[in-house]
Amino acid sequence: MTIHFAGKEASLTLGRSYCDICLRPSPLIAKIPLFSYIFMRGRCKLCNKLKLPIYFFSELSSLLLFITILCVIEGHSFSQLVFLYAIALFLIGLSIFDILTRRLPDIATLPFLLLGLCLSFWLQNIDFQDSVFGAIGGGLITGIVAETYNKMRGKVGIGWGDVKLISAFGAWIGWQALPLFLFLSSISGILFIFLRSVAIKQFNAKEQIPFGPFLCASGWFLLLQTFN
Ligand SMILES: [Zn+2]
Protein backbone atom coordinates (compact mmCIF):
# COMPACT_ATOMS: atom_id res chain seq x y z
CA MET A 1 0.00 0.00 0.00
CA THR A 2 1.35 3.40 -0.93
CA ILE A 3 0.43 6.50 0.99
CA HIS A 4 1.27 10.04 0.11
CA PHE A 5 2.33 12.29 2.88
CA ALA A 6 3.77 15.77 2.51
CA GLY A 7 4.31 15.15 -1.15
CA LYS A 8 6.50 12.15 -0.67
CA GLU A 9 5.39 8.80 -1.92
CA ALA A 10 5.78 6.62 1.11
CA SER A 11 5.17 2.94 1.05
CA LEU A 12 3.84 1.20 4.11
CA THR A 13 5.82 -1.89 3.15
CA LEU A 14 9.56 -1.53 2.72
CA GLY A 15 9.95 2.06 1.59
CA ARG A 16 9.41 1.35 -2.14
CA SER A 17 7.37 3.97 -3.96
CA TYR A 18 5.16 3.42 -6.98
CA CYS A 19 3.89 5.48 -9.90
CA ASP A 20 0.31 6.40 -9.02
CA ILE A 21 -0.79 5.86 -12.65
CA CYS A 22 0.88 2.67 -13.87
CA LEU A 23 1.56 1.38 -10.32
CA ARG A 24 5.07 0.21 -11.27
CA PRO A 25 7.93 0.82 -8.80
CA SER A 26 9.38 4.29 -9.35
CA PRO A 27 12.99 4.55 -10.53
CA LEU A 28 15.50 6.21 -8.22
CA ILE A 29 15.35 9.55 -10.07
CA ALA A 30 11.59 9.81 -9.39
CA LYS A 31 12.32 9.87 -5.67
CA ILE A 32 14.21 13.16 -5.68
CA PRO A 33 11.73 15.77 -4.40
CA LEU A 34 10.94 18.74 -6.68
CA PHE A 35 13.74 18.06 -9.18
CA SER A 36 12.34 14.77 -10.42
CA TYR A 37 9.09 16.50 -11.39
CA ILE A 38 10.96 19.27 -13.23
CA PHE A 39 13.45 16.90 -14.96
CA MET A 40 10.72 14.56 -16.14
CA ARG A 41 8.36 17.45 -17.02
CA GLY A 42 5.67 16.07 -14.73
CA ARG A 43 5.59 12.69 -16.48
CA CYS A 44 6.18 9.19 -15.20
CA LYS A 45 9.45 7.84 -16.63
CA LEU A 46 7.90 4.38 -17.17
CA CYS A 47 4.44 5.06 -18.60
CA ASN A 48 5.08 8.64 -19.83
CA LYS A 49 1.70 9.76 -18.45
CA LEU A 50 1.30 13.15 -16.77
CA LYS A 51 1.50 12.95 -13.00
CA LEU A 52 -0.67 15.04 -10.69
CA PRO A 53 0.97 18.45 -10.09
CA ILE A 54 -0.40 18.28 -6.53
CA TYR A 55 2.65 16.31 -5.38
CA PHE A 56 4.99 18.84 -6.92
CA PHE A 57 3.16 21.65 -5.11
CA SER A 58 3.19 19.72 -1.86
CA GLU A 59 6.96 19.28 -2.14
CA LEU A 60 7.29 22.95 -2.93
CA SER A 61 5.18 23.95 0.08
CA SER A 62 7.18 21.56 2.32
CA LEU A 63 10.24 23.57 1.32
CA LEU A 64 8.54 26.96 1.64
CA LEU A 65 7.14 26.17 5.09
CA PHE A 66 10.61 25.01 6.15
CA ILE A 67 11.91 28.44 5.09
CA THR A 68 9.15 30.21 7.08
CA ILE A 69 10.29 28.27 10.16
CA LEU A 70 13.87 29.44 9.60
CA CYS A 71 12.52 33.00 9.89
CA VAL A 72 11.17 32.40 13.41
CA ILE A 73 14.05 30.29 14.70
CA GLU A 74 15.25 32.80 17.32
CA GLY A 75 14.44 32.17 20.96
CA HIS A 76 13.08 28.66 20.42
CA SER A 77 14.41 25.26 21.28
CA PHE A 78 15.35 22.65 18.69
CA SER A 79 12.50 20.37 19.80
CA GLN A 80 9.97 23.22 19.37
CA LEU A 81 11.21 23.87 15.81
CA VAL A 82 11.11 20.17 14.92
CA PHE A 83 7.57 19.94 16.29
CA LEU A 84 6.53 23.04 14.36
CA TYR A 85 7.83 21.49 11.14
CA ALA A 86 5.97 18.27 11.94
CA ILE A 87 2.78 20.36 12.16
CA ALA A 88 3.61 21.97 8.80
CA LEU A 89 4.00 18.55 7.14
CA PHE A 90 0.82 17.31 8.78
CA LEU A 91 -1.12 20.32 7.43
CA ILE A 92 0.23 19.78 3.91
CA GLY A 93 -0.73 16.09 4.09
CA LEU A 94 -4.19 16.96 5.41
CA SER A 95 -4.73 19.56 2.65
CA ILE A 96 -3.80 17.04 -0.05
CA PHE A 97 -6.09 14.47 1.50
CA ASP A 98 -8.95 16.99 1.47
CA ILE A 99 -8.27 18.00 -2.15
CA LEU A 100 -8.16 14.37 -3.33
CA THR A 101 -10.97 12.89 -1.23
CA ARG A 102 -12.99 15.92 -0.02
CA ARG A 103 -12.66 14.60 3.49
CA LEU A 104 -10.95 15.72 6.69
CA PRO A 105 -10.92 12.49 8.71
CA ASP A 106 -11.51 12.46 12.48
CA ILE A 107 -8.39 10.36 12.90
CA ALA A 108 -6.39 13.44 11.83
CA THR A 109 -8.43 16.40 13.10
CA LEU A 110 -9.27 15.12 16.59
CA PRO A 111 -5.67 14.25 17.67
CA PHE A 112 -4.63 17.64 16.20
CA LEU A 113 -7.27 19.28 18.43
CA LEU A 114 -6.11 17.33 21.49
CA LEU A 115 -2.45 18.17 20.82
CA GLY A 116 -3.43 21.84 20.48
CA LEU A 117 -5.01 21.81 23.93
CA CYS A 118 -2.03 20.02 25.48
CA LEU A 119 0.89 21.66 23.68
CA SER A 120 -0.02 25.20 22.59
CA PHE A 121 1.23 26.51 25.94
CA TRP A 122 4.60 24.79 25.44
CA LEU A 123 4.91 25.70 21.76
CA GLN A 124 3.58 29.26 21.59
CA ASN A 125 2.85 30.27 25.18
CA ILE A 126 -0.93 30.24 24.64
CA ASP A 127 -2.82 30.14 27.95
CA PHE A 128 -4.61 26.84 28.48
CA GLN A 129 -7.84 28.76 29.14
CA ASP A 130 -7.53 30.70 25.85
CA SER A 131 -6.83 27.43 24.08
CA VAL A 132 -9.95 25.76 25.53
CA PHE A 133 -12.12 28.79 24.67
CA GLY A 134 -10.62 28.78 21.16
CA ALA A 135 -11.51 25.13 20.64
CA ILE A 136 -15.03 25.46 22.03
CA GLY A 137 -15.71 28.85 20.37
CA GLY A 138 -14.39 27.78 16.95
CA GLY A 139 -16.29 24.49 17.01
CA LEU A 140 -19.50 26.00 18.36
CA ILE A 141 -19.74 29.02 16.04
CA THR A 142 -18.97 27.12 12.84
CA GLY A 143 -21.01 24.12 14.04
CA ILE A 144 -24.10 26.33 14.44
CA VAL A 145 -23.47 28.00 11.05
CA ALA A 146 -23.02 24.58 9.41
CA GLU A 147 -26.18 23.16 11.00
CA THR A 148 -28.28 26.26 10.19
CA TYR A 149 -27.11 26.30 6.56
CA ASN A 150 -27.77 22.59 6.29
CA LYS A 151 -31.33 22.98 7.64
CA MET A 152 -32.17 26.08 5.56
CA ARG A 153 -30.66 25.01 2.24
CA GLY A 154 -30.86 21.27 2.67
CA LYS A 155 -27.23 20.76 1.70
CA VAL A 156 -23.78 20.83 3.25
CA GLY A 157 -22.07 24.24 3.28
CA ILE A 158 -19.34 23.70 5.85
CA GLY A 159 -18.50 20.04 6.43
CA TRP A 160 -18.14 18.59 9.94
CA GLY A 161 -14.48 17.88 9.14
CA ASP A 162 -14.00 21.63 8.60
CA VAL A 163 -15.78 22.38 11.91
CA LYS A 164 -13.42 20.01 13.77
CA LEU A 165 -10.37 21.48 12.05
CA ILE A 166 -11.49 25.03 12.96
CA SER A 167 -11.97 23.89 16.56
CA ALA A 168 -8.46 22.37 16.50
CA PHE A 169 -6.93 25.59 15.20
CA GLY A 170 -8.87 27.45 17.90
CA ALA A 171 -6.99 25.32 20.43
CA TRP A 172 -3.66 26.07 18.76
CA ILE A 173 -3.99 29.83 18.28
CA GLY A 174 -6.36 30.77 21.16
CA TRP A 175 -9.82 32.36 20.95
CA GLN A 176 -8.43 35.87 20.38
CA ALA A 177 -7.08 34.92 16.94
CA LEU A 178 -10.27 33.07 15.86
CA PRO A 179 -12.04 36.01 14.08
CA LEU A 180 -8.93 36.75 12.00
CA PHE A 181 -8.48 33.03 11.29
CA LEU A 182 -12.06 32.67 10.00
CA PHE A 183 -11.75 35.90 8.01
CA LEU A 184 -8.47 34.90 6.35
CA SER A 185 -9.69 31.37 5.53
CA SER A 186 -12.94 32.64 3.97
CA ILE A 187 -11.34 35.50 2.05
CA SER A 188 -8.57 33.26 0.62
CA GLY A 189 -11.19 30.67 -0.38
CA ILE A 190 -13.35 33.31 -2.09
CA LEU A 191 -10.28 34.81 -3.80
CA PHE A 192 -9.30 31.36 -5.06
CA ILE A 193 -12.80 30.74 -6.52
CA PHE A 194 -12.73 34.17 -8.18
CA LEU A 195 -9.24 33.78 -9.69
CA ARG A 196 -10.00 30.25 -10.81
CA SER A 197 -13.25 31.25 -12.54
CA VAL A 198 -11.40 34.11 -14.27
CA ALA A 199 -8.66 31.69 -15.37
CA ILE A 200 -11.03 29.07 -16.75
CA LYS A 201 -13.58 31.73 -17.87
CA GLN A 202 -16.42 29.91 -16.21
CA PHE A 203 -18.33 30.53 -13.00
CA ASN A 204 -20.36 27.91 -11.23
CA ALA A 205 -22.09 29.19 -8.09
CA LYS A 206 -22.96 25.65 -7.02
CA GLU A 207 -19.41 24.34 -7.28
CA GLN A 208 -17.91 23.25 -3.97
CA ILE A 209 -14.24 23.51 -3.24
CA PRO A 210 -12.40 21.76 -0.41
CA PHE A 211 -12.09 24.30 2.41
CA GLY A 212 -9.36 22.40 4.32
CA PRO A 213 -6.35 23.82 2.43
CA PHE A 214 -7.52 27.41 3.11
CA LEU A 215 -8.04 26.63 6.80
CA CYS A 216 -4.60 25.01 6.96
CA ALA A 217 -2.87 27.93 5.19
CA SER A 218 -4.53 30.62 7.35
CA GLY A 219 -4.09 28.53 10.51
CA TRP A 220 -0.41 28.05 9.73
CA PHE A 221 0.04 31.79 9.18
CA LEU A 222 -1.55 32.60 12.57
CA LEU A 223 0.30 29.78 14.31
CA LEU A 224 3.55 31.37 13.16
CA GLN A 225 2.34 34.77 14.44
CA THR A 226 1.68 33.35 17.90
CA PHE A 227 4.98 31.44 17.76
CA ASN A 228 6.95 34.65 17.47
ZN1 LIG B 1 3.79 5.42 -14.47
pLDDT tens per residue, range 57-82:
888 999 999 999 998 888 899 999 99
* Pair (110, 181) in one structural domain: yes
Expressed in angstroms and rounded, the spacing between residue 48 Cα and the centre of ligand 1 is 6
Provide the number of structural domains found in the chain. 2
Expressed in angstroms and rounded, the spacing between residue 27 Cα and the centre of ligand 1 is 10
- C-alpha 165/C-alpha 149 separation (Å) is 18
- C-alpha 55/C-alpha 96 separation (Å) is 8
User: For position 31, what pLDDT does the model report?
Assistant: 76
Task: Kindly state whether residue 88 falls inside one of the protein's structural domains.
Answer: yes
Expressed in angstroms and rounded, the spacing between residue 51 Cα and the centre of ligand 1 is 8
Task: Kindly state whether residue 80 falls inside one of the protein's structural domains.
Answer: yes
Task: Kindly state whether residue 172 falls inside one of the protein's structural domains.
Answer: yes
36 CB-near residues (< 8 Å, 6+ apart):
29, 30
User: For position 3, what pLDDT does the model report?
Assistant: 44
Expressed in angstroms and rounded, the spacing between residue 18 Cα and the centre of ligand 1 is 8
Task: Kindly state whether residue 47 falls inside one of the protein's structural domains.
Answer: yes
User: For position 108, what pLDDT does the model report?
Assistant: 97
Residues lower than pLDDT 50 in the chain: 1-14
Task: Kindly state whether residue 202 falls inside one of the protein's structural domains.
Answer: yes
User: For position 12, what pLDDT does the model report?
Assistant: 38
> Which residues form the domain of 46?
1-51
* CA trace torsion 60, 218, 206, 156 (10° rounding): 120
* Pair (47, 147) in one structural domain: no
Expressed in angstroms and rounded, the spacing between residue 74 Cα and the centre of ligand 1 is 43
User: For position 22, what pLDDT does the model report?
Assistant: 85
Expressed in angstroms and rounded, the spacing between residue 32 Cα and the centre of ligand 1 is 16
- C-alpha 58/C-alpha 13 separation (Å) is 22
* CA trace torsion 32, 93, 78, 65 (10° rounding): 70
- Pick left, alpha or beta for residue 54 (phi over 0 → left; psi -120 to 50 → alpha; otherwise beta): alpha
Expressed in angstroms and rounded, the spacing between residue 78 Cα and the centre of ligand 1 is 39
* Pair (162, 122) in one structural domain: yes
* Pair (135, 172) in one structural domain: yes
* Pair (168, 100) in one structural domain: yes
pTM over 0.85: no
* Pair (174, 115) in one structural domain: yes
Task: Kindly state whether residue 218 falls inside one of the protein's structural domains.
Answer: yes
* Pair (209, 171) in one structural domain: yes
User: For position 5, what pLDDT does the model report?
Assistant: 42
Task: Kindly state whether residue 127 falls inside one of the protein's structural domains.
Answer: yes
User: For position 163, what pLDDT does the model report?
Assistant: 97
* Pair (68, 138) in one structural domain: yes
Task: Kindly state whether residue 57 falls inside one of the protein's structural domains.
Answer: no
Beta carbons of 42 and 97 less than 8 angstroms apart: no
